[in-house]
Structure formats: structure tokens, C-alpha cells
Amino acid sequence: MLDQLVEHLKAATDSGQPEKTIKTLLKAFVEQPEQAKSAMPDFDQDEAILFEDDQISIWYCRFQPGTSVPPHNHNMSAFIGVFHGTERNDMYERGDKDILKPLKSTDIHAGEVLSIAPDAIHGVTCTSAEPSEAIHVYLGALSCVDRDLYDMEHGTVLAFTDANYSQLTQDKN
Ligand SMILES: [Fe+2]
């Protein structure tokens, strides 16, 4: 089931309407959350790249309860399909002097899909008592683009690196 989803998502990039097709595929995958969860291998890591090429990146993303990852951009369209727990997405826009202005927060529950515009900035928090688990899809090679991370405490913009990401990720446990 997971392999099939990955193949269908890859094919979606040639569909002429990749955004619409990806959203439909993700919705169909997560709308029976328990079935989706049972289709997942037991990942050792909280993040796993299931596939990446120039057209599309497909990730498994798990966030532990209370964990918040810092606001960041993707510079490409992104889609989040949650199949376990709840992933809160806090959306922002850039204000003066790199200060981020909050736009809105959306709780994505198991069975729901969120689409994010290429220029969007979001932070993610797991708000459920159990870890949140989701498939994240990006229309491009996510590991190859320059991206920004936002340090909310200091009002600064940092390069998106593993080190900066880890340093700014908050574990409230
Ligand atoms: Fe993200």
C-alpha cells in the first residue's frame, strides 16, 4: 500500500495537474487512518525519505508529543497528509526586519490533508498525546534547495541546516 502510494505520487508529477492529483492521492491514503498506519513499516527515525528526484520528494514525518519544529519555508508546494495523532501547523508571513507575523494555526488531525503554497512559512507542533505521523510531499527536490529557518526568539533568519534545525527544535517534555 505504501509502495503503491509512492508510485502513484511519482506518476502525479506527469499528470498535468500535480497539485490536485497529489492532494487527492494523499486524502485517499489517510482517510482510513488505521489502515494507513498499518501499511507503514516501523521506522527507527522520526523522519524518512521515501523517495526524491527533481520532481518530487516524499517523506514520512513523525513528531513526538509536545515537540515543535521552527518556522521554515520549502520554496516549493507542499502537502501534508496525517494518519495518526494531530500536527498543528502555524503559518507565518515575513514582516519588517525578518520578524515573522503569525497568520493562522491549523490542527491537522488523522485523516486530513493540508496544502501549503510554495512561498509559505510554517512551524509544526505535535499537539496530540501520541506522536503525530504523516506523509509529507514536496513538488521538487527538497534536499537540494536553499531554505530558511526562523529563530523566533532572536528574530533572525538562519540557513536551513541539520544543525540549525536541531538546535531550534523544541522538545517540551
Ligand atoms: Fe515543513
Question: What domains are there in the chain, each with its CATH number?
Answer: 2-171 (2.60.120.10)
What's the CA-to-centroid distance between 79 and ligand 1, angstroms? 9
Centroid of chain to Cα 162:
16
- Enter the pTM of the model: 0.94
What's the CA-to-centroid distance between 66 and ligand 1, angstroms? 17
Q: What is the pLDDT of residue 36?
A: 95
* Beta-strand pair 121-126/67-73: antiparallel
Do the Cβ atoms of 55 and 139 come closer than 8 Å? yes
pLDDT tens column, 56-114: 999 999 999 999 999 999 999 999 999 999 999 999 998 877 789 999 999 999 999 99
pLDDT tens column, 1-42: 899 999 999 999 999 999 999 999 999 999 999 999 999 999
Start-to-end CA span in the chain (Å): 34
The amino acid occupying position 100 is L
**Exposed/middle/buried for residue 55 (C-beta within 10 Å: 0-12, 13-18, 19+):** middle
Can you tell me the mean pLDDT for 47-53? 97
Q: What is the pLDDT of residue 170?
A: 81
Is residue 159 very low, low, confident or very high in pLDDT (cuts 50, 70, 90)?
A: very high
What's the CA-to-centroid distance between 72 and ligand 1, angstroms? 6
The amino acid occupying position 140 is G
Of 99 and 138, the structure prediction assigns the larger pLDDT to: 138
* DSSP assigned state of 102: E
Is the pLDDT confidence value at 172 over 70? no
What's the CA-to-centroid distance between 33 and ligand 1, angstroms? 21
Q: What is the pLDDT of residue 64?
A: 96
Q: What is the pLDDT of residue 161?
A: 94
Q: What is the pLDDT of residue 95?
A: 84
Q: What is the pLDDT of residue 164?
A: 94
Q: What is the pLDDT of residue 173?
A: 58
Q: What is the pLDDT of residue 84?
A: 98
